Amino acid sequence: MNGYDEADVVVVGAGPAGSSIGHYLAQSGHRVVVLEKGTFPRDKICGDGLTPRAVAELIRMGVPTREEDGWIRNYGLRTSGAGHRIEIPWPELTTMPSYGLARSRMNLDATLAAHAKASGADIREGMSVTGAVRDERTGRIVGVNAKPVDARGRRTGDDVEIRARIVVDAGGVAARLATSAGIEKNVRRPMGVAVRTYFRSPRHDDPMMESFLELWDGKPGESNLQPGYGWIFALGDGTVNVGLGTLSPNAKPTGLDYRGLFAQWMKNVPEEWEFTPANQIGRLGSAALPMAFNRKPLYKDGLLLIGDAGGMVSPFNGEGIAYALQSGRIAADTIGQALARTSDYERVKVLRSYATTMRDDLGGYFTLGRGFAHLISSPKIMRACVRYGLPRPVLMRFVMKLLADAYDPHDGDWMDRVIAALAKAAPAA
């Protein structure tokens, strides 16, 4: 390895968080290098559904989201459970649109990376980061070492070193760079698991996102109702994303047979949906969902954490894309301010404010989510919530706003004001 590259900022990972910060920094004139281990298009385990909050972030970025660009809109949530079914439209708010979107992560991530590249970010695919570069005197992280790899992770060239004034870990749930820097996950925070696959189905153009609140670990009525939900998200291209997410109030293994749980659910879906082995596309994959800021501090020794690397997944619904995009935007603004400072002391002070901003924006809401995770971990409580809650439309509209983070704290209705008051009152730990 001879010499090294230099940048203002180096970002590890080109998922939604990495592409978001890459876009905003490049748009502001900063030299930003984004290193992605995979090669686009590449897959990620996800529900592929974007809530209005996530769509609002795409709009801020200027990402085209027309149907001809490969997107399908949805206009609300259809929820089923305990013999009840209800459809609730997305609310009309000033802070986000009254529709959601769906697109496979294979296409979404490639689109966002291309958008960041068009903005001026240096996106380098097939680059696996192997460790942090530290200043010999201060111990501060001042860059990364990386190696070029192929699709199987095999080395294809010489190691490279990239030095930067600020380093960002957008590497997802593994957060290997953050872990190597001593930033460990908090095992007392909620952790979710999502499993999903794709089917060819006549439901591919359904204008509603759909969730099922009855996930049994055996035959219905003979075993426990599990905390979590199943989903069907139409992709508009002849296929649907079908999966389920379960929730644990902490990071301890649940011991659940997720594949068995999924198979049990598939046995009970209507035949006309055509969710058959012959129509299944690809394998049933799974992924962990790090929730409620389960890895902190969000800034330490020259390293910022954004997206899943910082545990920014909602305990209410497993949503992570909205917060990945949001954290990238806020981190980029913070970094821009820090780079304009004239002393190391001032720069560090500004960078530390990123954690404060994220805590103020999401800390109270995530704390409510942690309470929700503990509450529904009881099968009896979960069963009561489904049985007695679904038949009440006003209550369900409130619950949908809360679980989807689709409320306006400044210019909303009484439901929005109640949720905002609860989030403000909750300690932002």
pLDDT digits (tens, 9 = 90+) for 8-45: 999 999 999 999 999 999 999 999 999 999 999 999 99
The answer to whether position 340 is within a domain reads yes
Whether 376 shows a pLDDT value over 90: the answer reads: no
36-46 b/e (C-beta count within 10 Å ≥ 16 → b) = bbbebebebbb
The answer to whether position 363 is within a domain reads yes
Residue 176, CA distances (Å) to 35, 49, 53 in order: 13, 27, 28
**Residue 219: per-residue pLDDT:** 55
- In this prediction, residue 381 has a pLDDT band, given cuts at 50, 70 and 90, of confident
> At residue 115, what is the residue type?
H
Higher pLDDT, 56 or 257: 56
Longest CA–CA separation in the chain, Å: 67
- In this prediction, residue 80 has a pLDDT band, given cuts at 50, 70 and 90, of confident
Going by C-beta distance under 8 Å and a sequence separation of 6 or more, which residues neighbour residue 40?
Answer: 14, 109, 110, 113, 114, 125
Whether 365 shows a pLDDT value over 80: the answer reads: yes
> At residue 148, what is the residue type?
P
The answer to whether position 365 is within a domain reads yes
The answer to whether position 21 is within a domain reads yes
Question: Quick one: which of 128, 107, 125 has its CA closest to 117?
Answer: 125
* Structural domain containing residue 42: 5-72+102-187+292-370
pTM of the complete model: 0.94
**Residue 111: per-residue pLDDT:** 97
Q: Whole-angstrom Cα distance, residue 40 to residue 107?
A: 9
The answer to whether position 213 is within a domain reads no
Question: Quick one: which of 227, 338, 337, 216 has its CA closest to 268?
Answer: 216
The answer to whether position 27 is within a domain reads yes
Q: What is the CATH number of the domain that holds 45?
A: 3.50.50.60
**Residue 383: per-residue pLDDT:** 78
**Residue 223: per-residue pLDDT:** 55
Count of the separate structural domains present in the chain: 1
The answer to whether position 53 is within a domain reads yes
Q: What average pLDDT does this structure show over 169-179?
A: 94
Q: Whole-angstrom Cα distance, residue 134 to residue 140?
A: 5
**Residue 58: per-residue pLDDT:** 98
Question: Quick one: which of 419, 425, 423, 385 has its CA closest to 401?
Answer: 419
The answer to whether position 399 is within a domain reads no
**Residue 216: per-residue pLDDT:** 65
- In this prediction, residue 222 has a pLDDT band, given cuts at 50, 70 and 90, of very low
Average pLDDT, the chain: 92
**Residue 429: per-residue pLDDT:** 76
